[in-house]
């Protein structure tokens, strides 16, 4: 295993993938597959709730945790998706401490671009 791979990424890999992982590619025999980061990012997008979170943030412009909890996933899953989305830079967390404490999430610029691509793919498929 190469040291260039963060532990965050390794948690998404199968044991056999971990043995050959580096920060750029996963090697299988003579084949070089998708870059590791792309593969892991696509895996996040395919997880239950991720796209729903992105769509809600787009529709509302911003949402609090309680708004996101209306998505049809469990609370633990929601927390996981929020944390994974934050780590991957597709959503942003905001905490304002003025007279009233405000905490909410928004799509990042990267998240907006990703969601636009997802919507284009959905349009092609449908």
The confidence band for 5, taking pLDDT boundaries of 50, 70 and 90, is very low
Q: 32 or 88: whose pLDDT is higher?
A: 88
Tell me the CATH class for 47-125.
Answer: mainly alpha
Domain boundaries, the chain: 7-42, 47-125
Question: Distance between alpha carbon 95 and the CA centroid of its chain, in Å?
Answer: 20
pTM comes to 0.72
pLDDT digits (tens, 9 = 90+) for 18-77: 665 554 555 555 555 557 778 888 999 999 999 999 999 999 999 999 999 999 999 999
Instruction: Output DSSP code: residue 21.
Output: B
- Residue-wise DSSP of 4-19: TS-HHHHTTS-HHHHH
Residue 79 has pLDDT above 90, yes or no: yes
Helix, strand, or coil (residue 101): strand
Distance CA 7, CA 58 (A): 30
Backbone φ/ψ region at 121: left (φ over 0), alpha (ψ -120 to 50), beta:
alpha
Q: What is the mean pLDDT of the segment spanning 70-95?
A: 96
The DSSP element (H or E) to which 63 belongs, if any, is none
pLDDT at 1: 40
């Amino acid at each position: 295993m190469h040291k260039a791979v963060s532990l965050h990424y390794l948690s998404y890999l199968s044991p056999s993938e971990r043995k050959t992982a580096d920060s750029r590619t996963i090697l299988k025999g003579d084949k070089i597959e998708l870059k590791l980061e792309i593969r892991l990012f696509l895996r996040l997008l395919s997880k239950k709730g991720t796209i729903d979170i992105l769509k809600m943030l787009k529709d509302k412009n911003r949402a609090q945790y309680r708004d996101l909890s209306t998505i049809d996933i469990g609370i633990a899953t929601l927390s996981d998706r929020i944390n994974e989305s934050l780590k991957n830079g597709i959503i942003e967390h905001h905490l304002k401490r003025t007279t009233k404490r405000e905490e909410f999430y928004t799509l990042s610029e990267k998240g907006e671009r990703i969601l636009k691509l997802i919507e284009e793919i959905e349009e092609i498929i449908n």
